[in-house]
Amino acid sequence: MRQYDHLFFDLDNTLWDFAANSREAMRLTLEQKHITSHLPSFEAYFQVYEQINKSLWNDYHSRKITKQCLVVERFSKSMQEFGINTLDWQDLNHCYLENMGLQTRLFPETLETLTLLKSKGYQMHIITNGFREVQRTKLANCGLAVFFTKVFISEEIQTTKPHREIFEHALKSTNASKKKSIMIGDSWETDIEGALDFGIDQVMFLNDGLHDVPAPINSLRLAENSNFLKLKHQKKTFFINKITDLTSIF
C-alpha cells in the first residue's frame, strides 16, 4: 500500500519558474508602458523591485497589509527610488499580471514528472498564495491545468499559507486524510512550516540550493545524510533538489 493518495503542490517557484517568468513579465511591462528609457537599467530597477516586493509579500502572508496595499506599493515604492512618482500604479500592476499569465517557463521535466505521477493514480491539487486573476491563467497557458483536480487560491479562500485554515479547507474539499496527504513547495516558511504545523508530511524543493532552509535544519539534514527528517509531530519532511526527484518518493 502506498503512503500517500493526495499530493498538494505549491505553484510559484515549485512548478512554475517564478524567478524567470516574473523577470520577463516585468521587462515586457516596462517596455509596453514606455518606462524603460527613464531608468538607469532594467536590472537596477528589478533588483530594487524584488527586494520591496518580497518584503511586502511577507507582510501580506502575515496579514499585516492588504492585497491592494501590496500591488500599489510594490510599484510606487520601487519607482520612487528612481524619481518616478506620477504613474498609475494599479494600471501598471494590471499590465504586469497580464504579462505574468502569458509566461510558460517551468522547471526542467515538470510536465514529464507530473504525467508519471498522474499515471500512478495520485490525486494532485494546487495550494497557492498567488492572486486569483493570474494563477489559473498560468496553469492553463503552461499546460499544468490538466494535472490538478482542484486549485486552492488563498485570495478566494481568504487565508494564506502558512495559516492552517487553508490546509484544512483543501483537505476537507478533497476528502483527503492527513495521513495520506503531503505538501510539496519551495518556501520553508509558508509551505513547509505551514503544512508541518497543520500535521501533514511535506517535500521541500531546494532547487539545487537556490531555495533556502534555516541553517540548523540544513545542518541536521546534512549530518543525518538522509533525504528526510522527522521534525515535529513525527511528520516526515523530505528534501529534493529537482522536481524529477519526486519519483524517488512517490
Write out the catalytic residue numbers. 10, 12
Report yes or no: 127 and 9 within 8 Å, Cβ to Cβ: yes
Render 200-235 in DSSP notation, one character per residue. Answer: -EEEEE-TTTTS---HHHHHHHHHHT-SEEEEETTE
> In angstroms, rounded to a whole number, what is the distance separating the alpha carbons of residues 60 and 53?
10
Q: Is the dihedral of CA 178, 180, 183, 189 positive or negative?
A: positive
Is there a contact between 22 and 137 (Cβ–Cβ < 8 Å)? no
CB 151 within 8 A of CB 136: yes
Unique residue bearing C-alpha cell 486524510: 177
Written as nine digits, the cell of 154 is 488563498
Q: Are strands 150-153 and 181-185 parallel, antiparallel or unpaired?
A: unpaired
Q: Is 125 helix (H, G, I), strand (E, B) or coil?
A: strand
C-alpha cell at 193: 512550516
